[in-house]
Structure 1
């Protein structure tokens, strides 16, 4: 049966396959073609068992397709197959080029739809009991790309370092020394920082420290991309919860004894 050419941009969530939405699963089941990225767990492709699966992501800077080629593939496959699902990690509207791909598809006459995903900028921190806002600690948060399209550190990091907000930096590991230096210049050497690699996945790794100590912790644990950097007093909440749970368990054990 002929289908009108359509693109649905779908957020796959931060990595854990259970964190994809029901609406995203519905889109995958209806797909004729799925174009998926490197950060997408391929287990999710089982929801699109009758569709053609095409890997269009990048690994360690190696591109299987350039962005222009992906745009062309979306249009050509939609015209020949029908419903194309562009499956992207996290939320496609948070540094995901989802908006660019939708614009290209719409300009070529495709019906377009967006299914939001759970963004890593919030969920990865939350999965480690780190809230991005907390009453008395942080009234707001910044979400910043660590590397601009010119491959430079975003100037927004410099502005964020002057604030009292929680700062969440995506794609920033290669710029960590510069980030650390900016916060030190603002007198924030003792500010807590967490770096979470492969957040919500089985191979997740986390490093906790301060602006002063985090580079040594990164070296010790060999932390690298894909990782999220979280800077601010809210990072302390993780240990606060651990301590409260430990004390509660100790009291309960004592009562039972």
Structure 2
């Protein structure tokens, strides 16, 4: 005789991009799937306004914040698998886009190894939202035709990257703590101290803050920035006359 546990069907997991922070910047598909979820495992950067889109769901915080006590990735993977065996519709809600600095690779590997069905719902990544908030295009004809998204954060046990991308516009995610090192590397490469820099803290939220600096000033660091920080560097960041 087959036991109930053996015949129970495994649920499906959606990795959903919440966007940069504002609740109305999630995609229509993402909002619909949230409204149908039975359980939502969400990042620390996901706002209460965003979670209000899924009042019917059990909510589990699995936030990871740099420099703070947070849920280890292995534990997040374990809880996702556990929820997929308990619920039919599981949402892993991530700030920005799941496929860009969202640790989607680790979660996909863990779920696929268990034979659990996974679907990805893209979100508005912070760089695009920051460009919109600041009204500062990442590309400009005749000035900037290449863009690189990068982060200096690495996985435990992995060496830190010593070089920076060679592009017209550089966008550094999680750039607050790394600002001084980034500026020094770029200055050492020969970029002028007057090179334009745009810093966006808490992108798209009510407490968003935009700072216009030069590369020489960035070398002094970003004191006072408490929220998530995006640093955009390049001639395309120069203010319009």
TM above 0.5, one fold?
A: yes
What root-mean-square deviation, in Å, do the aligned CA atoms of Structure 1 and Structure 2 show?
1.9
Give distance in 2, aligned partners of 1:64 and 1:33.
Answer: 20
- From the superposition, tell whether residues 205 and 152 of structure 1 become closer, same or farther in structure 2 (CA, over 3 Å): farther
Unaligned 5+ runs, structure 1: 244-257
How far does residue 214 in structure 1 lie from its aligned partner after superposition?
Answer: 2.8
Instruction: Choose which of 200, 218, 222 in structure 2 pairs with 1:218.
Output: 222
In structure 1, which of residues 60, 66, 78 is the aligned counterpart of residue 84 of structure 2? 78
SS where residue 234 of structure 1 aligns?
A: helix
* Corresponding residue of 2:11: 5
Who is 2:64 aligned against? 58
- Aligned partner (choices 177, 199, 202) of residue 203 of structure 2: 199
Q: 2:185 aligns with which of 165, 179, 182?
A: 182
The residue aligned with 1:154 is 161
Structure 1 partner of 2:233: 231
Contact 2:195/2:214 (CA < 8 Å) preserved in 1? yes
The answer on 1:44 being equivalent to 2:23 is: no
Task: Between 148-157 and 52-61, report the one with greater CA deviation.
Answer: 148-157
- Give the CA deviation at 1:21: 0.3
8 Å contact from structure 1 (residues 192, 233) kept in 2: yes
* Aligned 8 A contact 1:208 1:217 in 2: no
Residue 156 of structure 1 and its aligned partner are, at CA, apart by 4.2
Structure with greater proportional helix content:
1
Deviations 1:112-160 (A, max 9, x none): 1000000112221221111111101101101001222257653341x43
Which residue does 1:167 correspond to in 2? 170
Give the count of matched residue pairs.
232
Structure index of larger Rg: 1
Give per-residue Cα distances to partners, 1:200-228, cap 9 Å, x unaligned.
Answer: 11111122111112345834xx2244100
Q: CA deviation at 1:174?
A: 1.4
Q: Runs (4+) of structure 1 moved beyond 6 Å?
A: none
Identify if the C-alpha distance between structure 1 residues 197 and 151 changes in structure 2 by more than 3 Å, giving closer, same or farther. Answer: farther
Q: Decide whether the 8 Å contact of 1:8 with 1:115 is kept in 2.
A: yes
Shift of 1:196: 0.8
- The CA distance in 1 between the partners of 2:81 and 2:160, in whole Å, is 33
Using the TM superposition, give the Cα deviation of residue 99 of structure 1 relative to its aligned residue in structure 2, in angstroms. Answer: 2.7
TM-score (norm: length of structure 2) = 0.89
Query: TM-score by structure 1 length?
Result: 0.84
